[in-house]
Structure 1
Amino acid sequence: MTEQPKPHKVRHLDARTLRGLAHPLRMRLLSSLGLDGPATASQLAARLGESSGATSYHLRQLAEYGFVEDDPDRGKGRERWWRPAQQGIRTNADLMRDQSPEVRGALSTVLHEYATQRAQEVSTWIATRNEWSADWAEASSVSDFTLDLTPAQTFELSRKVHELIESYRALAPEGNTPDAAKVRIHSHFFPTRPAGDSDSDSDSDSD
């Protein structure tokens, strides 16, 4: 009997939990736990170049808001290991439209930190690509596209891309497959204006 993949738990942010996440170090801690695996506050401090006091404090804050939890399979005595409480985070439409200055500020912090982390990941790949096999070099992609779309078409495209990516979770290789690795996939869908154009209703020719 084929073992079913574990469900991919996704956390939907609200105004309260957004404020609990909106701190660059907390987001870096959560990202490190997700990508590099469970760790103690001291191990995370070494990974991120921070003090263990700072990582310990912000881990407790993340736990209070439900983003991280104890790892019951690790730790000895007073040693406390942490792991993510979910595998993904999403913002809903209501949160994106919230006009509260506090919410908008927190959301900007979160989005800017995500953008910074993703840029760093791409830079790391470019700097270390020669350490990977030729197959990985050929399989990787750093691409961008420009399309003329309506908001509804953009939403549909985003949904279809996400559905395609999610369909590959069930295809994850089992056990210690030699050529398998964690693959990071970034997606950004956003409108742009021609340089110098501040009129949102202006028409332009696409390349």
Structure 2
Amino acid sequence: MRPHVELTDPRALRAYAHPTRMALAGLLRREGPLTATRAAELTGESVASCSYHLRVLAKYGLVEEADPDGPGREKPWRATAQYTNWPGYSEDPAVAEAADALTLAIAENHFARLTRALESRRELSREWQEAERFTDVTLYLTPQELTDLGERMDALVAEYADRGTDPSLRPEGSRRVPYLQIAYVASESEGKAPEGERP
């Protein structure tokens, strides 16, 4: 897999914003090559739905057939890259609108997954519950400072990134941990919200 795939075509950005397609791309990145049948078992979608959405992802270079000569729906699919990048800014209104729609879809997806995790967190051991992070802070930064902070965070996270593609690097007792980095400019009219709270 390449490290990143870049989406700049508005059609590709809108295509990727579909929740089933995001789920399939993530699944292939984590689990390796899968057939549409196996993907259906893991996602709860129908085989026909997975086949269709995998073909759409392939059209825009997010997945590809691992064995093009395989029979029908038993052809394994694989992700083409570990991460998906898209523009944070574009002069092209079509690209900017599609990129914003994808960012919103990703945020909604993360919120839904976070909600499910919070609903079941009491099933985790005390060690895991205490290790989880749920905190926030408001900073006053320039655009360059925010960029620098993001790059420093990326460098820290990158120290663990190889474990995603190489299970032999995962220490005993490790689990899959989605780690979100979200920073946004608050509206000037936004009221003061509680900060630094932790359940």
Q: TM-score, normalised by structure 1?
A: 0.75
Counterparts of 1:29-40 in structure 2, within 5 Å, are 29-40=24-35
Moved more, 187-196 or 59-68: 187-196
- Per the TM alignment, residue 123 of structure 1 is displaced from its structure 2 partner at its CA by 1.5
Pick aligned residue for 1:69 from 64, 72, 87: 64
- Per the TM alignment, residue 34 of structure 1 is displaced from its structure 2 partner at its CA by 2.7
- Per the TM alignment, residue 176 of structure 1 is displaced from its structure 2 partner at its CA by 6.8
Counterparts of 1:79-90 in structure 2, within 5 Å, are 79-90=74-85
Moved more, 38-47 or 107-116: 38-47
Q: Which residue of 2 aligns with 1:11?
A: 5
Pick aligned residue for 2:114 from 122, 132, 152: 122
Change (3 A) 1:21 1:182: same
- Per the TM alignment, residue 154 of structure 1 is displaced from its structure 2 partner at its CA by 1.0
Residues 21, 27 of structure 1: 8 Å contact kept: yes
Q: Which residue of 2 aligns with 1:167?
A: 159
Write the deviation string for residues 62-83 of structure 1: whole angstroms up to 9, x where unpaired.
11221112345xx975412222
Change (3 A) 1:130 1:71: farther
Pick aligned residue for 2:173 from 174, 179, 199: 179
Change (3 A) 1:183 1:90: same
Write the deviation string for residues 31-59 of structure 1: whole angstroms up to 9, x where unpaired.
23334554322333344443322221120
> Whole-Å Cα distance in 1 between the matches of residues 82 and 118 of structure 2?
26
Q: Which residue of 2 aligns with 1:42?
A: 37
Q: Which residue of 2 aligns with 1:99?
A: 92
Rg larger in structure: 1
- Per the TM alignment, residue 146 of structure 1 is displaced from its structure 2 partner at its CA by 0.6
Write the deviation string for residues 57-115 of structure 1: whole angstroms up to 9, x where unpaired.
1201211221112345xx9754122221110111245xx22332x32332122111110
Change (3 A) 1:162 1:119: same
SS at match of 1:163: helix
Change (3 A) 1:23 1:170: closer
Q: Which residue of 1 aligns with 2:22?
A: 27
Which residue type is aligned with residue 136 of structure 1?
Answer: W
Change (3 A) 1:196 1:161: closer
Q: Which residue of 1 aligns with 2:148?
A: 156
Give the gaps of 5 or more residues in structure 1: 1-6, 198-203
> Whole-Å Cα distance in 2 between the matches of residues 13 and 27 of structure 1?
13
Give me the identity figure in percent.
28
Pick aligned residue for 1:110 from 81, 102, 113: 102
SS at match of 1:187: coil
Q: TM-score, normalised by structure 2?
A: 0.78
**Pair 1:131 & 2:126 matched:** no
Counterparts of 1:180-195 in structure 2, within 5 Å, are 180-195=174-189
Change (3 A) 1:159 1:131: same
Give the gaps of 5 or more residues in structure 2: none
Residues 22, 107 of structure 1: 8 Å contact kept: no
